[in-house]
Amino acid sequence: MKNLLRLFGIITISVIIGISLSACDEPGSDEGVTLSGTISISIDGQGIVPFIVIKAHDASWAFEGVTTLLAPGNNAKWSVKVPAQGSLKDVYFRIFGFTKENGTDEDKIFEIGAGFTKQLGSSSISGINLDLGALKLITISGTIVMEPNPKNAVAIELSDPDTHFLGSTIVRGVNSTMPVNWSINVCATNTPKEIYTVAVIGFPGEPWQGEWKNNYVEYFRGPGVKDIGFKDNQLQIGTANITDVELFINY
């Protein structure tokens, strides 16, 4: 039986991410401050990830520091530059795995939130250890239909009740008649009990680019969204892939 999920719905997902964190503060400069540490990450059964991208950002993505690592082994060093802050501000870390350098969404293996925030001020911070270990990935996949007025592109994002980011994908060509396929890799878990949420964000142009960067609609928060809740069974993420998840956006 297919799983039918309507917007403002909830999706059951669990994820295990191990993070260890230690830090030493150093004075910053007019050119910004440096966040640095080590990362250990691989894919269970497949080994080293070809390319790892680490992004450090604030809650609204007003600033972003990015670095790319080529096939990093255990305890690989990383660092990013970000603007110094006049007052303490939470900074988040997101980790991407790609099959090739400068990869697009089509080349993405996974995209995971680190699950913690670090308070950033006017000093550099070292010793930030991202110990993700060997990721066991499963795939959540299905179709999406948007009516009555489809957008040029749609971002589907998965997060937990504490807004810890789990994964996302961008889907193009979404329409009101023919379902379009989507899939997202997330971490598997042996205890699939948590409740997680789904956000669907529609863009009139290319996602997050140019004039469209702030001209989008988050349908799970926006007014006028209809058809709330589940039909059929709730989704429980464990160690197996989940298919045939239908997203219907009616606004």
Beta strands across the sheet bearing 229-231: 180-187, 137-147, 242-250, 3-6, 229-231
Residue 208: its pLDDT value, please? Answer: 57
pLDDT of residue 198: 67
Looking only at the bridges linking them, the beta strands covering 64-70 and 51-57 are antiparallel
pLDDT tens for the 251 residues of the chain, in order: 454 444 433 333 333 333 333 334 455 455 799 999 999 999 988 889 999 999 999 988 889 999 999 999 999 999 999 999 999 999 999 999 999 999 998 999 999 888 788 999 999 999 999 998 899 998 888 888 877 777 777 888 777 656 677 888 888 888 778 888 989 998 887 766 454 556 677 666 666 554 433 444 444 433 333 332 323 334 566 788 878 777 776 65
Ordered by where they begin, the domains of the chain are 3-14+137-250 (no CATH), 24-135 (2.60.40.1120)
What is d(CA 22, CA 69) in angstroms, rounded to the nearest whole number?
Answer: 21
pLDDT of residue 230: 29
Q: What is the spatial order of strands in the sheet that 51-57 belongs to? A: 64-70, 51-57, 89-98, 108-120
